[in-house]
Amino acid sequence: MPSILFVCLGNICRSPLAEAALREEARRRGVDVVVDSAGTGDWHAGEPPDERAIAVAARHGVDIGALRARQVTRADFTRFDHIVALDHENLKNLRRLAPANATAELSLLLDHVPGREGQAVTDPWFGDASGFDVTWAEVTAAARGLVERFGGRGSRD
């Protein structure tokens, strides 16, 4: 069963939305996957997602209100098969944090969307609620790509 950790800066906007989108797509397609999210920073540890993130997920039938932010740990680099950064700065930080025994494959989330490789997911933090709709669309497209990668064509592997 593949395991994926999504990582953004504070783990209250983009990465919990990516976690939710992948959980929902995997559930819909009957694919077993372990999913979590974390931030490279620790200042939101223990907090729920941003209320705008909770609202956009709810509009798409997904409840993320019980999620709590956490900081990425060195153990995550061997616990997960894939650690997926939401932007270049977090990918750079993950490469710096990775221990010598890291086994996780690192990538950008939009590397899993044809035609969007190398691009960062829109950070909605400083904008209004409409930015979260853009972010949801991006993480949902990536979730579809990840499920395809893991062989999710409507049946359990």
Annotated active-site residue in 8, 36, 52, 76: 8
CB contact set of 17 (below 8 Å; sequence gap of 6+): 49, 53, 56, 57, 64, 132, 135, 136, 139
Look up 8 and say whether it is catalytic.
yes
Annotated active-site residue in 42, 81, 111, 123: 123
Residue whose entry in the numeric block shows the structure tokens 């060195």: 74
Question: E strand or H helix at 5, and its extent?
Answer: strand 3-8
Look up 36 and say whether it is catalytic.
no
Look up 13 and say whether it is catalytic.
no
Residue whose entry in the numeric block shows the structure tokens 């983009």: 14
Annotated active-site residue in 13, 14, 29, 76: 14
Complete edge-to-edge strand list for the sheet that includes strand 34-39:
34-39, 3-8, 82-85, 105-108
The residues annotated with a catalytic role in the active site are 8, 14, 123
